[in-house]
Every structure is written in C-alpha cells, then in structure tokens.
C-alpha cells in the first residue's frame, strides 16, 4: 500500500505515532489503514503502525499538541497514560497552577486549578502529567465510587504504590475530601492484595525527596 510504504519509509519525519494529519496520510487513507489492520489506534485520532509496541511514553506523546504552556495532564487521562488499556471517555483533564492563567476554553478540555508539588509531576514523551501516586490521590477524590475503584485497581496492577498514595494524602493538610479518598484507596489496596500499611505519627510533616 502506497500510503503505508510512505509512512514506513518516512518514519524519522512522521514519528512513531501516525495521525490523519501525518505527512502522506489523508482521511480516507487513515480509515483504510485502520480498517485493514495496518494501523492500531491508540486513542481517537492517534495510531501506531501494526507491530510497534505501545508504551506510556507513546501514549503521552498523543497529548504533545494539547498539554503545553505549563499545563499538566491529570486524572483519568493521566491514569490511562500510566496504565494503558481502553482510553477513557470525556474531556481531557489538565491542571493549571494557582497564579497562572486559566487555559482558553475548548470543547475537549477540562481545566482545573490545583497546587502541584514538584514530586506530583513527571514527564513522559515531552508531556507533563501527574505521577501515578498523585493520579491515584486525584482519582480517589474526584471520581465516582465505581470509577475510582476501577482506576485505582488498574494503577495498582501497573505497579503504583497505593500505600504511598495513602501516606501522601495523610501528609497533605487541607486536602478536600481526604476521608473519602483515603477510604477508597484503602479499599483498593485490600482488593489488590497490597501489603498493609499503618499511618505513623508523621502526618503533615514535609515530604522529603
């Protein structure tokens, strides 16, 4: 197929991710390549050439044009980057820090203002997003009961330390909804069979990194 051959030959310019806007790709070719299995969709509008291994870094790269200018990818979409699986539905949640400008309103964007500590943010594929631990804290707080449980179990299965999430929650003074979030994290830890963790007497002390 000419379009596929072009994309494969021009990988340095096209990159590992393919979109309908990639050089040499058209809307019709995009649909055909997906239908015939030459491309595997990562999320709506982004795909990998069949056989290319999906990774957290490549999933993050799909937000390179959306999450810019100091914004941080968060909540369900950050969890998806960390864990993979079916992409969530709904708008892309990003955090902007206090003292910075709220991003321009867009139909696909859900912008929330929240403080972020240095250790709450990581970078993958050139995109800033909340760490797995901070993502667990956010989802335990802001998701529905069922969504929080599913997301926390996926994060735990991907290696997220939910005990650390509980610890960070206890050490963060003024965290809105902390009691509910802590219960959800504890329930997810038990369901995931993680090692029991007991809160010490160091609540609210500065977290050293």
pLDDT in tens, 123-182: 999 999 999 999 999 999 999 999 999 999 999 999 999 999 999 999 998 999 999 999
Q: Quick: pLDDT tens for 87-103.
A: 998 899 999 999 999 99
Helix (H/G/I), strand (E/B), else coil: 189: helix
Total residue count of the chain as it appears in this document: 209
CA–CA gap between residue 152 and residue 54 (Å, rounded): 21
Bridge partners of 128?
123
Q: Give the whole-angstrom CA distance, residue 27 versus residue 118.
A: 41
Contact 103, 96 (CB under 8 A): yes
Pairwise CA distance, residues 169 & 181, whole Å? 8
Q: pTM of the entire structure? A: 0.84
25-46 pLDDT, tens digit each: 778 888 999 999 999 999 999 9
* Nearest of 148, 126, 22, 151 to residue 73 by alpha carbon: 126
Rounded Cα distance between 80 and 138, Å, is: 14
| Phi/psi-derived region of residue 63, left when phi > 0, alpha when psi is between -120 and 50, beta in every other case | alpha
């Amino acid at each position: 197929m000419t379009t596929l051959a072009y994309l494969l030959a021009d990988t340095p310019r096209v990159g590992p991710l393919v979109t309908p806007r990639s050089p040499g790709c058209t809307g019709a070719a995009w649909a055909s390549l997906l239908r015939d299995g030459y491309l595997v969709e990562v999320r709506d509008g982004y795909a990998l050439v069949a056989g290319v291994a999906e990774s957290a870094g490549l999933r993050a790269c799909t937000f390179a044009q959306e999450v810019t200018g100091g914004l941080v990818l968060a909540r369900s979409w950050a969890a998806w980057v960390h864990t993979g699986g079916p992409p969530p539905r709904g708008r892309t949640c990003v955090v902007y820090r206090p003292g910075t400008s709220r991003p321009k309103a867009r139909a696909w964007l859900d912008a929330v203002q929240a403080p972020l500590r240095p250790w709450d943010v990581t970078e993958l594929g050139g995109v800033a997003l909340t760490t797995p631990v901070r993502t667990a804290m956010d989802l335990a707080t802001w998701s529905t009961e069922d969504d929080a449980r599913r997301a926390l179990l996926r994060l735990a299965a991907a290696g997220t330390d939910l005990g650390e999430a509980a610890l960070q929650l206890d050490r963060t003074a003024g965290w809105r909804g902390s009691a509910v979030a802590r219960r959800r994290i504890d329930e997810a830890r038990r369901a995931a069979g993680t090692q029991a963790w007991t809160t010490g007497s160091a609540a609210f002390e500065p977290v050293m990194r």
